[in-house]
Amino acid sequence: MTATPPDPDPDRTPGLEEGSGVRQGDTPPDSAQTSGLSHDQPIPSKATSVGFLIATAVLTLLIAGLIVALGGNLFGLW
């Protein structure tokens, strides 16, 4: 079974000119649509965001320290 498309048939829509154009002052037909959420979305916890930022900062500092240590060892600074 084939569903009919939601758009109106241009051949049977009044107000359309040749080539599916609309006369000046006319409003073109529109498809029906449903938008929005079906239910409320949960609000994410702020603790997750703070924890992620702390973990990212710690990881960044560890990687920066590793790069400095390897660079110092490479150039004979220690």
pLDDT attached to residue 42: 84
Residue 14 lies in a domain: no
| Those residues with Cβ within 8 angstroms of residue 72's Cβ, 6 or more apart along the chain or in another chain | 78
Q: pLDDT tens digits, residue range 41-77?
A: 788 788 878 889 999 999 999 999 999 999 988 888 7
Residue 78 lies in a domain: yes
| pTM greater than the 0.85 cutoff | no
pLDDT band at 5, cuts 50/70/90?
A: low
Mean pLDDT of 1-26: 67
Domain that holds residue 60: 45-78
What's the number of domains the chain is made of? 1
pLDDT attached to residue 16: 60
Residue 67 lies in a domain: yes
